[in-house]
Amino acid sequence: MKFEGTNELPSLEFDEAIGHIRIFGKSIAIEHLDFWSPLMAKMVEYLEEPRDIHLELEFEYFNTPSAKQILKLLNLIDKRMSETKRNFVVTWHDDDDEDLRETGEDFSTMVNKNAIWRFKT
């Protein structure tokens, strides 16, 4: 699954064969569900089979509605990984942005049942 980002929606690279998901860019669109709804539907389907997942998040910026969707995605994956005892690694890129780092750290405390968090600048 691949999605070429816009000025308002992030890009997505999802290599299903190895369970690597990379979301990067900006997520500020008012109609953000054009991006997040298909991804969430795909994840529900993809998570039916137990497998390891590496989620790489590299945002330049995202708004509050997008933050809710990011958290929803993290919780969905984390819950399934907890049930199946599979590995779930989250790599959070902050590009030396203190606000992005703090948000990632906040997310890691909200979604830390099974996930292994890595922070990169």
Residue 27 lies in domain: 2-120
Domain of 25, CATH number, reads: 3.30.750.24
pLDDT digits (tens, 9 = 90+) for 41-94: 999 999 999 899 999 999 999 999 999 999 999 999 999 998 888 999 999 999
- pLDDT band at residue 112 under the 50/70/90 scheme: low
Which residues lie below 8 Å from residue 98, measured CB to CB, with a gap of 6+?
Answer: none
pTM over 0.85? The answer is: yes
DSSP states along 68-117: HHHHHHHHHHHHHHHHHT--EEEEEE-TT-HHHHHHHHHHHHHS-SSPEE
pLDDT digits (tens, 9 = 90+) for 2-23: 999 999 999 999 999 999 999 9
Domain count, the chain: 1
Sign of the torsion formed by the C-alpha atoms of 74, 77, 83 and 89: negative
Question: CB neighbours (10 Å) of residue 91?
Answer: 17
